[in-house]
Structure 1
Amino acid sequence: MTESTTTTADGTQHHCVQYRTTIPKDRAESFDMDHDTLLDWSTGSASNKLEITVRNDKDSGGEDHSQ
């Protein structure tokens, strides 16, 4: 986790928290992930719920593998 605070041009401060995760190689291969793959994520209503959608935009129409 990385935290930072920046000051915008109008003088207000913006606090940012960034998280990083890795995906096991076998999981990435099962989704056919490469550099064209995008991950969309959102938190759910439960405090411990994270929803991830894997999109491969090089395929026509995209390919969704929701978890």
Structure 2
Amino acid sequence: MLAIVAAIIFGLGFLLELLAFEIPGGISGVTFMLLGLCLLALHQAGVGARSDGGLLGGWRGTRR
């Protein structure tokens, strides 16, 4: 989920850079790109990952 949000943020940042547009308060395309990188880092770290298992969670906690 965070990767999808990061892709949307990257797209907005890219459009802002192409149009050379800056939101009042110093928010530019680079700000959106840095936010997208932060979201991708959180995604890679496993934040926001869904767990479907029992106590240990996920497929690693199941025995066959």
For normalisation by structure 2, the TM-score amounts to: 0.22
For normalisation by structure 1, the TM-score amounts to: 0.22
Structure with greater proportional strand content: 1
- Specify which structure has the bigger relative contact order, considering alpha-carbon pairs within 8 angstroms and separated by 6 or more residues: 2
